[in-house]
Chains A and B, each alone.
Chain A
Amino acid sequence: MTVTPHAAVLARSRRRRQIQTIAYQLFWYAVLSCIALALALPLLWLVSTSFKTGAQTFLMPPKWIPQPIVFSNYPEAFRAVDFARYFWNTLYVTLASTAGTLLTASLAAFAFARLRFPLRGPLFGVVLSTIMLPGIVTLIPTFILFRALDWIDTFKPLVVPNWLGGGAFSIFLFRQFFMTLPLELDEAARVDGASNFLIYWRILLPLSTPVLATVAIFSIIYNWNDFFTPLIYLQSPEKWTMAIGLQSFKDLYSTSWNLMMAASTVMIAPLLALFFTAQQYFTSGIQMSGIAGR
């Protein structure tokens, strides 16, 4: 091989393309960083406040970097509120609820998306309508119901409903996803004699990693942070969840913001880690190389 003038031109143009790629990447890094900085403000504020003294909390103008930086809020927050216990309670409620939601919501959504049956449309309307009525007016009847079941001060009101349907949000999200999968998949399996359950379990679910991960994330975050439901149904402090624990830093006349923020930081850290690592599941995409007839 001999070097020709032509090759030099090629090398130059390759370098130009490389520079273009770098410029392109730099541009996006800049844009993303600006947005990320703005969106991360609440977190920065939260963490920064968790290292402030009570007096610094509302210093005007506010300081992003506490002076002095105090670490005592963390041990103090854990002393004031039994967070270790609340953590286990929260973990239990969250995992038990999420498992139920993933299973029963995807089952229902499969029927709404892939099977023909009478009242399919109206029933799906009923599913959605359950989140259209403000919970404020069903609070008392629901409490009376759970009391009749003798479920007050147990985790059942928080967990069991999730094993029976998993909520309109999850069913709807699963349905939307299932409906993007070609019907030819089901039909091909049916020709092979697969039952509906088999189609659900062996064809659709395996293709549904992204939506399973998405629903799981939403369910975990919802149950992790839910304050109102545990507040109403759990009466003994030893059954409380972290979200109620956070509220304990609010007293009648004053709020220990620095302690509350320290506790909040501890509370959201696992969620952050989970979201960061679980991304590969909901962004894994559907690995379909081709679809019949297309």
Chain B
Amino acid sequence: MNSQIAGSRHAVNRRAFLKLSAFSLGAASLAACTAVVPATGDGEATMAPVDISFLTQGGGDTSFLRYEPLIETFEAENPHIQIQPIWEPGGAIEIQIKLLTLIAAGDGPDTYWAHSYTNAGQAKRNIQMDLTPFLDSSSIGEDTFLRAAWLDFQIAGKQIGFPRETTSTVLIYNKELIAEAGVSDPADGWTWTDFEAAAMAMTSGEGTERSFGTADWNLNRNTWIKMWQKGGDVLNAERTAYAMNEAVSVAAVNTVKGWHEAGVHVSGVEKGGFSTGDLFTTGRIGMFPQFSVFSNVAPAEFEWDIAHLPKDDSDIETTRVASAGHSMWSGTEHPDEAWTWFQTFASISAFEHWVSTGLNIPSLKAVAGSDNYLSTAVLPPSAQVMLDAFDYGRPEPVAGDWISVHREVQPALDSIYGVEAADTQATLDNIADRVNEFIAFVPSV
């Protein structure tokens, strides 16, 4: 056979390819023209303003709205300072990735959005500026913010930032189910005996129809509250060693395990990856410990409310507080200008603006207790309860690489509460070495 090729066909194909490339290039350059924004860089070159960068969480218009008006107002009042926002959609970890990348590139943001979750690891490596010297010469201090939220941004004696929105854990409950169960009202101040009786009464049905008295105690953050009440903790008082395998904590974990075994607590298997809020709004969970975010239960078509967590007479009154806020970078080249901007994050006007754009609990005392905030529609009738909780609440005992401590404790609890029903003492002993390693880790210098 001769070497034969269908030439005409190829010519068409090549032409098609060339046309496609040409089209691509054309369309690309067209898109480039429409996409590229002309730089706005005119203005009098009087005194060059100082640029202060601000890395923050945000993507859509709602998040831009949180900060853009503040920036405008600030720049109008402080013409020598220009705020350069760096928006980053995502949560605490995404922000941390961006933060670390920028710092490594020698371009750390002067100020940035921060979260309880990542604060400890950053503090261990002195990423946040200690604000104490600035605070000494200002009116901002411990009394400005809700107590526990303020403590959340205090690590190893340093003030590493200001909290913005904060949360306290309280008991959220379905009023109708409580009434049907014929038990006392949680608002009266429950003991754990009351709680267990109510949980028992609200549990019924089988399979997909089953309703549960309670949920979410299996999460490490909520199991920890139970431990704290009994005097136990994740770490010892000095935060130098793991302590969850001590008798009081083991007993607290066993109580929660007992709820699972009795079937009054929804198991991970029964939830199958979906959120407790969804089960609550569909009337299948009576009550659960909830931090003060109500957007996930807002669709509920029944009456619900919040109450202080149950507490036995011998218990310590406590709950968990966690916050998101802002920090200053310790490596900033313009600490004074950065601080000038940073004070915005402790101002009444900023918090009032944030309340109007949607906020969990504003950590600024003056705004948290204001009618302006408490009249927000999505709050439960007893909203005051979650504010009062800040007087007795506390942050997690963060130390070292705290995220990894979470990552060790949660799987351990899962195997204790889950299908395996692992032995509590043995399982909690098992993770001691790794947790201690993460706490004791000394950063290289």
Contacts of A143 in B (CB 8 A): 101, 104-105
A25 within 8 Å of B by Cβ? no
Chain B interface size range: 35 or more
How far, in Å, is B2 (CB) from chain A's closest CB? 7
CA distance A216 to B21 in the complex (A): 10
- B52-80 interface code vs A (CB 8 A; 1 in, 0 out): 00000111111110000000000000000
Q: Which residue on B lies nearest to A56, using beta carbons?
A: B299
CA distance A251 to B62 in the complex (A): 10
Contacts of B4 in A (CB 8 A): 288-290
Contacts of A99 in B (CB 8 A): 21, 24-25, 28
Is B90 within 8 A of A205, CB to CB? no
Which residues 169-184 in A have Cβ within 8 Å of B in the complex? Answer: 184
Contacts of B281 in A (CB 8 A): 55
A54 within 8 Å of B by Cβ? yes
Q: Which residue on A lies nearest to B3, using beta carbons?
A: A292
Is B107 within 8 A of A147, CB to CB? yes
CA distance A11 to B284 in the complex (A): 67
B445 within 8 Å of A by Cβ? no
Is B28 within 8 A of A92, CB to CB? yes
Contacts A92-B28, A144-B105 given: A249-B60 contact, CB under 8 Å?
A: yes
B348 within 8 Å of A by Cβ? no
B409 within 8 Å of A by Cβ? no
Is B278 within 8 A of A58, CB to CB? yes
Which of A27-35, A64-72, A81-89, A125-133 lies on the face that meets chain B? A81-89
Interface of A is mostly: helix
For B4, B16, B59, the residue with the greatest tally of chain A CB atoms inside 10 Å of its CB is: B59
B282 within 8 Å of A by Cβ? yes
Q: How many residues of A contact B (CB 8 A)?
A: 64
- A216-246 interface code vs B (CB 8 A; 1 in, 0 out): 1000000000000001100111110000110
B124 within 8 Å of A by Cβ? no
A95 within 8 Å of B by Cβ? yes
Is B31 within 8 A of A88, CB to CB? yes
Contacts of A292 in B (CB 8 A): 1-3
B34 within 8 Å of A by Cβ? yes
Is B59 within 8 A of A81, CB to CB? yes
CA distance A197 to B57 in the complex (A): 51
Which residues 157-190 in A have Cβ within 8 Å of B in the complex? Answer: 184-185, 188
Contacts of B295 in A (CB 8 A): 253-254
Contacts of A290 in B (CB 8 A): 1-4
Contacts A254-B295, A287-B9, A290-B1 given: A92-B17 contact, CB under 8 Å?
A: no
A137 within 8 Å of B by Cβ? no
B182 within 8 Å of A by Cβ? no
Q: Which residue on A lies nearest to B282, using beta carbons?
A: A60
A104 within 8 Å of B by Cβ? no
CA distance A185 to B64 in the complex (A): 60
Contacts of A294 in B (CB 8 A): 1
Contacts of B200 in A (CB 8 A): none
Q: Which residue on A lies nearest to B18, using beta carbons?
A: A205
A250 within 8 Å of B by Cβ? yes
Q: Which residue on B lies nearest to A290, using beta carbons?
A: B1
Is A205 within 8 A of B3, CB to CB? no
CA distance A212 to B17 in the complex (A): 8
A194 within 8 Å of B by Cβ? no
Is B293 within 8 A of A253, CB to CB? yes
Contacts A60-B279, A89-B35 given: A102-B6 contact, CB under 8 Å?
A: no
Contacts A81-B61, A147-B107 given: A91-B27 contact, CB under 8 Å?
A: yes
CA distance A212 to B15 in the complex (A): 13
Contacts of A96 in B (CB 8 A): 24-25, 28, 32
Contacts of B13 in A (CB 8 A): 206-207, 209, 284
A80 within 8 Å of B by Cβ? yes
Is B10 within 8 A of A81, CB to CB? no
Contacts of A147 in B (CB 8 A): 105, 107
Contacts of A119 in B (CB 8 A): none
B314 within 8 Å of A by Cβ? no
Contacts of A251 in B (CB 8 A): 62-63
17 contacts between A and B (CB under 8 A): A59-B278, A60-B284, A80-B62, A89-B35, A92-B32, A92-B35, A140-B104, A140-B105, A185-B5, A206-B13, A207-B10, A232-B101, A235-B86, A236-B37, A247-B89, A290-B4, A292-B3
Q: Which 6 A-B pairs have the closest CB atoms?
A: A248-B59, A92-B31, A55-B299, A206-B10, A248-B60, A292-B3
With A99-B24, A144-B106 already in contact, 17 other A-B pairs whose C-beta atoms are closer than 8 Å: A59-B278, A60-B274, A80-B62, A88-B34, A102-B21, A143-B104, A185-B5, A206-B13, A212-B17, A216-B20, A231-B90, A245-B60, A250-B90, A251-B63, A254-B293, A288-B5, A290-B3
Interface residues of B (CB under 8 A from A): 1-6, 9-11, 13-14, 16-17, 20-21, 24-25, 27-28, 31-32, 34-35, 37, 57-64, 86-92, 94, 97-98, 100-101, 104-107, 115, 208, 274-275, 278-279, 281-282, 284, 293, 295-296, 299, 324, 360
Interface residues of A (CB under 8 A from B): 54-55, 58-61, 79-82, 85, 88-89, 91-92, 95-96, 98-99, 102-103, 139-140, 143-144, 147, 155, 184-185, 188, 202, 205-207, 209, 212, 216, 231-232, 235-239, 244-245, 247-254, 281, 284, 287-294
